[in-house]
Amino acid sequence: MTKSTVKKARKKPGKPKPDDCDSPALAMREPRGHSQKSEMMMFSTRRVVALALAFCALLRTDGKTQTSPKVATPESQISAGPLYRERYRPQFHYTVKKGWINDPCGLVYHAGDYHLFNDHNPLGNVIPGALGDKNRPPSRWSHAVSRDLVHWQEMPVAILPDKLGAVFSGSGVVDVANTAGFGKGPGFGKSADKTLVLVYTSAGCPFSQSISYSNDRGRTWTRYKDNPVVSNQGQMATERDPRVFRHGPTKKWGMVLYVKRGVARFFTSEDLKKWTHASDFTGRDFHECPDMFELPLDGVVRLRILLDRTSLEVFANDGEISMTSCLVPAEQNTSLELYAKGTEVHIESLAVHKLRSAWDANR
């Protein structure tokens, strides 16, 4: 789902103040795609090959597969009630039984299960808000698991709002080496039982970044007692959307965080609990929900790009990496630009295919 466009007047971006809690930006996320310009994509690589479409990949662990409970099929869900017979209920894409979801988060694979989390409002069909929003329930993270990415079982809500704020978007990792020390007991970390860690935004006043963890394959979740792990950086009140990843060569965790329009901040950590500011990145039209991943510097990168009326999806190297963005370009803008920062891009081959509407039965 895409987020609704907000028509409230917004304060000009600037350094947050303690009394910024009444700002509309705190009451709700700044909507994506409000610019009339097309989003641009940056690729720091030598050569690029653009193709058509792929599918995003989830993180995997090296642990042995562990038996998990049988995941409900659509038939078993439908037999439990009339919900999945609703006229406008999607029959292929995942939906919660009740309420609103947006922003897929914490996409990890572990012990036979694919995990999917979403920003979630179980009380209505509107986008959830931050803590203290008078018109929208505070966001939390829904949770679902699957064995095949097609049939999904809805799980209990993974993370509820607390005194630090509502639960906005973030990411998830498998702490294979138990660097955070959350795994307890003899031999923990040597079997398929690894710790799952979710890193998310605590949408309070101001926003900060927190973690929760699970030692039972995501069936129950414990909030870290010393949250937040990254305090507000003073760039804006609504700093958000931490993307955490493991960097093998340095044996450290990395985090990229959206701190204000056009700026991403990078952090490193040994244990997922204590984070050190490493550097900042500035980019044209850079916005929320950042990502960070490695691509070869001297090889061919295969890109598959899907550009719809209000969305842009980029899949690299057969789905190894995925990037998505919502945008609302001007009606006369039909162009797409590839550019590189600090190097050159050479397009070796390009194939363009016109999209056909899935809703047009006559074509």
Distances (CA, A) of 191 to 61, 70, 78, 147, 195: 11, 21, 36, 20, 11
Type of residue numbered 86:
E
Number of H helices, E strands in the chain: 2, 19
The rounded distance, in Å, linking the Cα atoms of 172 and 252 is 15
CB 138 within 8 A of CB 130: yes
Report how far Cα 121 is from the mean position of its chain's Cα atoms: 16
- Is there a catalytic annotation at residue 103? yes
Residues in contact with 159: Cβ distance below 8 Å, sequence separation at least 6, in sequence order:
140, 141, 167, 198, 200, 212, 221, 223
* Annotated catalytic residue, options 19, 22, 103, 318: 103
CB 126 within 8 A of CB 191: no
Q: Which residues are catalytic?
A: 103
